[in-house]
Amino acid sequence: MRIKGTFLDEISHDIPHQNWGRNEWDKDFGSMKAVGINTVIMIRCGYKRWITFPSRVLSAEESAHIPAEDLVKMFLELSEKHGMAFYFGLYDSGKYWINGDYEKEVELNKRVIDEVWQLYGHMPAFKGWYLSQECSRKTGQIIDLYASLGRYCKEVSGGLPTMISPYIDGIKNISQYTSDTVRATGVSLKKHEDDWSEIFEGIKDAVDIVAFQDGHVDIDELTDFLKINKALADKFGLECWTNSETFDRDMPIKFLPIKWEKLRLKLEMAEKAGIENGITFEFSHFMSPQSAYLQAGHLYNRYSEYINDHKV
Amino acid sequence: MRIKGTFLDEISHDIPHQNWGRNEWDKDFGSMKAVGINTVIMIRCGYKRWITFPSRVLSAEESAHIPAEDLVKMFLELSEKHGMAFYFGLYDSGKYWINGDYEKEVELNKRVIDEVWQLYGHMPAFKGWYLSQECSRKTGQIIDLYASLGRYCKEVSGGLPTMISPYIDGIKNISQYTSDTVRATGVSLKKHEDDWSEIFEGIKDAVDIVAFQDGHVDIDELTDFLKINKALADKFGLECWTNSETFDRDMPIKFLPIKWEKLRLKLEMAEKAGIENGITFEFSHFMSPQSAYLQAGHLYNRYSEYINDHKV
Amino acid sequence: MRIKGTFLDEISHDIPHQNWGRNEWDKDFGSMKAVGINTVIMIRCGYKRWITFPSRVLSAEESAHIPAEDLVKMFLELSEKHGMAFYFGLYDSGKYWINGDYEKEVELNKRVIDEVWQLYGHMPAFKGWYLSQECSRKTGQIIDLYASLGRYCKEVSGGLPTMISPYIDGIKNISQYTSDTVRATGVSLKKHEDDWSEIFEGIKDAVDIVAFQDGHVDIDELTDFLKINKALADKFGLECWTNSETFDRDMPIKFLPIKWEKLRLKLEMAEKAGIENGITFEFSHFMSPQSAYLQAGHLYNRYSEYINDHKV
């Protein structure tokens, strides 16, 4: 069980920005590569008015602020340089689908997909798509949204793979703007299985990879959820990866790097559930030797020792 | 649009202390100077029982703890060494004016002003005063307080300039001890204009510079507020600066350095509103290469690149 | 008044982990020694399912996760290398005593004590025991718990000293998972004295050292509480140390290193109360030159200067 991919958290909802330039990113991709990461997933190309590339569509439709740097271009170039696969995360309006207008979210994103593919589709590191609208249950028309956007991405790009990373509606599924870290009850295994069975049925030809976040349930329950996720994905023909979070949801400071022992335990649980690929949210803040959180560099060292001690 | 000044956050209400000695401060003043900062504003000389210099007045009247280091003397010496103007921030009792006794706050501060001018008035870097009682609306006798203290500072010091840095009662004006980051409604443009028109009318011969904090409103509303601030200040003959905050109010961790793109946008908005001078709260935690928050050093680098690319 | 000891915060409840390996710990023990620290107290050997050594008892009884590293062994070896005394912190179930079953907490811990003494009792740095169940009042059968466990530790180990570190039920005694930092009222001096008089009476032959945490009361009240603690401990024949916290309870971020001026004031208050020994919670996050919180390294420098300027 190895971490093969990481999100790039631009634009971030809730993790303070590190203000890196190209040199820092270049160095970070090198650090990723050194511990076996070969895939980077830009979590979203934009959120509300903040965007990662000079999008005419989002500038015109959403009055988005044109950024000083084209991060998509930079990430693609650095991915090529370091031999990484780049997944492009779709736009999250933060409003249309939240307020029930899934069609508008889909229509807008189709125009973004067209624009992006025209701008960057020729770049060799462009290897897949990430559907950035996260959910934990079958809410609203989330199935239609995933199915429409997944199919459109594949159609435009000649069948490049698509990925989602849902969360589990567990006891730690609480707002990061609340001082609590847990709540009384989470979703049951049965309800989780029922919901996701229905979702997978509806998206199976549009989404290739599902990587559930592993931080919203009590660690004692995690194995059971991982096994359900794996069994369901197998049943419907999706690849099941784990998104092993490298930040700690159990601490008053939201959020700093996770304790290595917790991460190790989660990775070993995923392995026991038969899962072979892991991604993480995310390397650059929580696991990087150059993170502003120095705990992250030590986590990197512990993880490096671990994979050296457990060579396959 | 350049950042010309920074607060020195001693004594802090809410930002954890960095525990710097003279060497670190010396180095920091050098880093400030290198990006064009020529003014340092000590935000307050004391808060409750914590003070920055060995004040006989505050020791006797408020049982203040005599500090091991005389920070006022140190800041004045370092300002002189680095060619910076030093503004002295008045005492904030944290109680008298809060509980409605504005006169006591004024009387106590007049004695502090006398003491300070006697101790440090001869030092060449002493260039102005900062009235540290912050407000967002016309509350209590805030006009009388500003007018009395501003006039007294100028009278004692031969007319040195005085500054205030109010905040806007916007949707992000919430306690830093709440886990939320926004509230439902903020002050309207009209109400803000009415309140500050009345305040400026009352303080116009006592206060020279007003630098509104720019972080309490949604960034989409900021331009409108900046324009009102500028127009009002022009009308009443005050200098209008912006206090462009370099920490991020939108994140669960309260507070870490701001994302460079946000700061750039805010500075450009101020420029469009016709504002020419900016200060920030504050350099040493949020923008300094030696900050304990390493994101700050990267922000410094991004800002340095920006001002080099946009030389005037 | 010097800091002679520090907790080692493994397993932590609430402070994000630094992910150090043996090299970092080795270096940290050296940094401690250089400022006069000669005692390290492992705060607890386990909490719920997380443990610090490969315990057969806790693995069998509590399904504890066997850790990759034996931290107890490592801390004992490093203590010997650096000439430090190591205190072993008992297991905190996080449930039995919390839910009123003090006997189960005691019985389980007796088995842990047996196991630990057998595994590590021969190592020369093993110099004492820490009873990790913290309390602020006479709640439940806390007296019986301290008395039983303290006596058992001494009996098994040939009389090695035992320590507790209670907190005061003051205005800052609030959950770290609340965004507030103070509450309206705390325990009165009288009630504190009554409670602890009764507790000390009941544990006086089982506990040798009491080191009250100094961060839960307003700093203006601290001297009075310290004096009571000292007088009570003297009366019942316990050694009275202070646990001078090196993190800051007054800030929105929970928790970063304390301001040096606050720590200095607290140490001087303890000295005035006649207390001669101090420990701290804790060196490695809040006072270490290699802490992930860089403010800690500056605190270390300020403290070093202080003890050099006030040599006894």
Closest CA to B72 of B30, B11, B16: B11
Q: Which of B16, B65, B291 minimises the CB distance to C251?
A: B16
Among the residue ranges A72-76, B290-294, C132-136, the one predicted with the least confidence is C132-136
Does residue B311 have a pLDDT over 80? no
| Total tally of structural domains belonging to chain A | 1
- pLDDT tens-place string over residues C229-263: 999 999 999 999 999 999 999 999 999 999 999 99
Q: Which residues are B241's β-sheet partners?
A: B211
Q: Kindly determine whether residue C258 and residue B50, on different chains, have CB atoms separated by under 8 Å.
A: no
> What's the pTM?
0.97
Using the predicted structure, report yes or no on whether residue C311 has a pLDDT greater than 80. no
Nearest chain B alpha carbon to A290: B294
Interface contact flag, B301 A21, Cβ < 8 Å: yes
Q: What is the DSSP string of C135-170?
A: -SS--TTHHHHHHHHHHHHHHHTTS--EEE------
Q: Cβ–Cβ of B295/A18 closer than 8 Å?
A: yes
- pLDDT of res. C131: 98
CATH number of C15's domain: 3.20.20.80
Nearest Cα residue in chain C from B67 = C261
Rounded mean pLDDT, A190-214 = 96
Q: Which residues of A sit within 8 Å Cβ distance of B?
A: 12, 14-21, 24, 49-50, 65, 67-68, 176-179, 253-255, 291-292, 294
What value does the mean pLDDT take over residues C118-143? 94
Q: Do B252 and A14 touch (CB under 8 A)?
A: yes
Q: Which chains touch C (3 or more CB pairs under 8 A)?
A: A, B
pLDDT at A139: 83
Q: CA-CA distance, B181 to B172, in Å (whole number)?
A: 6
Residues of C in contact with A301 (CB under 8 A): 19, 21
| Candidates C179, C181, C259; nearest CB to B19 | C259
Could you tell me if C42 and C54 are in contact, meaning their C-beta atoms sit under 8 angstroms apart?
no
DSSP chain A: -EEEEEEE--S-SSS------HHHHHHHHHHHHHTT--EEEES-SEETTEESS--HHHHHHH-PBPPSS-HHHHHHHHHHHHT-EEEEEPEE-SSTTTTT-HHHHHHHHHHHHHHHHHHHTTSTTEEEEE-----SS--TTHHHHHHHHHHHHHHHTTS--EEE------TT---TTSS-S--S----HHHHHHHHHHHHHHHTTT--EEEEESSSS-HHHHHHHHHHHHHHHHHHT-EEEEE---B-TTSSSTT-BPPHHHHHHHHHHHHHTT--EEEES-HHHHT-TT-SSHHHHHHHHHHHHHHHHT--
Residues of A in contact with B220 (CB under 8 A): 49
Rounded to a whole number of angstroms, the distance from the CA of A266 to the nearest CA of chain B is 25
- Which residues lie closer than 8 Å to A91 by C-beta, 6 or more apart? A44, A45, A46, A47, A51, A58, A108, A109, A112, A132
Chain B interface disruption, residue of C182, C259, C266, C269, most B CBs within 10 A: C259
Q: How far apart are CA B108 and CA B61, in angstroms?
A: 8
SS3 B153: helix
C-beta atoms surrounding C61 within 10 Å: 16
C288/C278 Cα distance (integer angstroms): 17
Which residues in chain B have their CB less than 8 angstroms from residue A50's CB?
Answer: 261
pLDDT bracket for residue A310 (50, 70, 90): confident
pLDDT at B312: 59
Is pLDDT above 70 for C88? Answer: yes
Nearest CA in chain B to C181: B177
pLDDT classification of C98: cutoffs 50, 70, 90: very high
pLDDT of residue B177: 87
Range of the domain at C40: 2-309
Q: Is the pLDDT of residue B60 over 70?
A: yes
Q: Name the residue among B67, B254, B292 with its Cβ closest to that of C295.
A: B292
CB-closest option in A253, A294, A299 to C254: A253
Do C18 and A220 count as a contact with CB atoms less than 8 A apart? no
**Per the structure block, which two tokens stand in for C41?**
């107290």
